[in-house]
Each structure stands twice: as C-alpha cells, then as structure tokens.
Chain A
C-alpha cells in the first residue's frame, strides 16, 4: 500500500518561499510508471492542481502558478518537494501530495493522496 506524507513549515511569511516535502513509502518513485503531483485546496474551496514531476526530473506546472513553482525529486530519499516563491495570503491553503495514475484511456487520475498540510501565509 503506497503512502504519502507531507512535511514542512505550517507558517510562512509574505514574500518568502513555501517549501514542502512529500515522503513516499510502500513504493519506489524511481521505479517509474507514475507521476508525482502537488495539489492545494484553499480554505472552504475546491481543489487546484499545482504541478507534477516524474522520477527522471521531468516536470509540468499549472500555467497560473508556473512562474513561482518548482517541483524537484530526490529518488535516494524517495521524496519529492514543492517550492512556491513570493507567497501572499492567497497562497494559504492545505497542500496535498498525490500519485498520478494513468487510466485505461490514457487519462490521468490521482489514486493515492497524502493527508495534507495546512500552510498559512502571514506575518
């Protein structure tokens, strides 16, 4: 059973960089076949996809966040990470990491999720 766990500061000051790490257990990121993603949820709102990474380091980001987002992978630690720069109060949200699975019609979905971590942007 694959498990994902987010970790990182719960409070970030405005204009600083939000940094989170997702540790994967029960499966190896470097085995391939899956993308690894970050998704966020503003308080009381819906889900917003941030971006994904493959074990090779290949990434793709939500165009609305692309200028501020960096996702990286550390296969030796079976982890992948999110950095979001120049944060404002609008970046306050619960951040989830998730595994991307390719469906039978080559359409992707998220089959395993971390429990989520609340990040508040405030001085």
Chain B
C-alpha cells in the first residue's frame, strides 16, 4: 500500500517558520490533506486539497505539493501551534483508501 513518510519532529522558535514534509511516491499527483492534533484532542483539518484552508484556519497555515514531497508551512509560529501534524491522501489504487502519514511533532522552543 501507499506509504507517507514524515519527520518525527520539527523544532521552531516563536515567530519563525516551520516546514513539515510528507514524502510519498509521486505524491504530487495526489491531493494532500493536513491535520493538527493537540494532546488529548481530536485531529483538526488545517489544509485540504494541497493548499486550501478550511474556514477558521489562520492564513499562517499553507501547503504545497510537487514531485515526491508535500509540505505544510506554518508562518510566524505561535506557542499554540505546538501539536502533532499528519498528512493524508486518498489512494484509489490500493485496497486501503485512506492513508495517513507517520506524524510530526512540532515543538515551539
């Protein structure tokens, strides 16, 4: 089945930019969606269709997708952005339709 690989952790100082990658074979041909999960809470959709934001999600969250890597970018990082982030794709070519990435813990220094 399709595999999505994320770095286990990313550390960033407040006010700086965090970039979280999601690697997959020709992932650029798929739509990538991103979720934020804070401790003890359910995941929240922060980016869908590579780069669109649901209503209520700050413009600081943006996404891109090309080749074998998709990226979630968090600009002007705040303490409240500290969370786990997961990428997700829909893989119609396999029996497992919905594939999640391994997750990245973002730590705000």
Tally chain B residues at the interface, Cβ within 8 Å: 26
Q: Are B48 and A103 in contact (CB under 8 A)?
A: yes
Q: Are B31 and A105 in contact (CB under 8 A)?
A: yes
Tally chain A residues at the interface, Cβ within 8 Å: 23
Binds B, one of A15-23, A26-34, A44-52, A80-88: A44-52
Q: In the docked arrangement, what's the CA distance between A108 and B35, Å?
A: 13
Chain B positions near chain A (C-beta within 8 angstroms): 30-31, 33, 35, 41-45, 48-49, 52, 54, 86, 88-90, 95-103
Known: A104-B49, A107-B49. A116 touches B42 (CB 8 A): yes
Known: A49-B96, A49-B97, A49-B98. A107 touches B31 (CB 8 A): yes
Q: In the docked arrangement, what's the CA distance between A114 and B42, Å?
A: 7
Count: A-B pairs, CB below 8 Å: 67
Q: In the docked arrangement, what's the CA distance between A84 and B6, Å?
A: 29
Chain A positions near chain B (C-beta within 8 angstroms): 37, 46-49, 60, 62-64, 96, 101, 103-105, 107-111, 113-116
Known: A47-B43, A47-B100, A110-B43. A103 touches B31 (CB 8 A): yes
Q: In the docked arrangement, what's the CA distance between A37 and B100, Å?
A: 14
